[in-house]
Structure 1
């Protein structure tokens, strides 16, 4: 009887260990050079384009917004990457903006940063974000990984022991003054280790992924093996949040809202994209797509395609995180076509997937944590949390 119990426990973990090895060491994975793909890709370097973990494309306004930092900060203070050195923060995190159809004389698309009010000038530690157009105004939901503080004394706490003080900050963009005006801070026990978020079309509800179950500690380090993380759902007006699913979560990362309560979530620890439907106070899993490669952020283009950032060789990813100026990790971007989204219960067969670009040798692409697609010009914009540049890929003429 005991042996049967031990076997029942060992088999799932044995399969998970095999899966982790398969993802980390690409023994059977074909990683292609960038020359195999029909794109001309260029690196765009500027101090305002360093460490951009997430980007969002305003297809209507023809602007690209990016949540950026500095390499010095990202390689020391990046809670999503288990980096908790508070002293590395230089308090220069910002939202950069580029006019994607106006390259300008310097070819940098008028890159500039949005201003913030004095109260938040040094208080942003950015990660994932989402934006919605509310009337004629853009509203930003920003994940903010502030250092932990003692609520009674206001003094600093040891982030290695307690993790980050993560919140969701909501801002409206005053386009006349190019300033983000703060509306609300959302604090909740359900916002544990936020990584990505996706806002409903009405700008009220939003879902946020937690890439771990705990903010710090030994169990956090074990979650790659045992699984962990969750998805929470919040109300922007009331500030209330609750965890709505832990099902099939393993380092829940990118998330997109595909309408009518349906969400897709990338699971970095298993290399799968999971489809969920919000039903009341729970998210119910409706399908799983296995991309068989470690994944990061998701984005949605106007044609309904999902674009997925991926890391084809994790060994180089770790090196690139430590030495971002000298090492670029192999990077890839996949497209999941919209016909997959028409199924009530998506399956692998209903999720046509295309690898749109890959850079085996790290020649052109950043260590990519996010990719967005401009359907109007068929360009790809790519950025990375510890990359000192962003990449723009233009389709070659046939």
Structure 2
């Protein structure tokens, strides 16, 4: 496996059963990279709401029922940044793959590259795909084997501390803004604007030239959201967001991006929109409740409703580049790996602004 000293065992954050507690296991085997694989040492990993839902057993599939085909014991994490330490058999230093190079550990782990969706460049919907959230051990471990044929090779000059959340939260927010089809000067509302996804959606929308209204609640959220570029902030606990959006925009917003994983956040989102507006859905509430919007509202106003499951590798690299060039600046707080159970508790309470990143390697 090369000249770099690689241990036989490692520390991982293990969940033995859905709904169970996080256990730090210190003697978990370090994988050996197989053909068309690389071994990466995980440096940092963002912590996503999807990690929390999967651990809790509340993650839902496209039909709204709980996902049951989750690998157990489960090692979560899908916003990781790693450094290549070994190459599997047959791998050469080509296409940017090199010892010491930075790579991303994303939601999508392997694709078939042959189905209709892969051929169309929307491989996140691959019919034979696997991911690091449900099927393979993710980035809450110190070493990980990755598919070299679908590797997220990162530029050498990125900041590994901030880039992890860009691979999921950032990519999803970027995709949601693209699907909102906003033009420069259009009004775009971000519901959940102070959260890990929302604060990135605000900035990606600003990068597209949109005028952003942030909706959220909590101490310090107004200053935080305005500080990252929102023109207006609405505290939904203190005022009616629908009424206020129409006061600000006149006819209603051109688009609403809902990043909050709460059913109430979706309940009246369409009422914020003007004729021909777009609702871009991101957050997935536990239990996957139905969208509470009358069909007549959708028909009469000619609304567009779109969902956003992360994005393609190409879109991921576009989202990364905007951060690398300083156009978008993720707000992250780095904490020790051992804090993961506490971070989950804080996420459940909604006490986190921006994104939390855990440090896997001292």
Both proteins in one fold, TM over 0.5: no
> Greater share of strand residues, 1 or 2?
1
TM-score by length of 1: 0.24
> Greater share of helix residues, 1 or 2?
2
TM-score by length of 2: 0.25
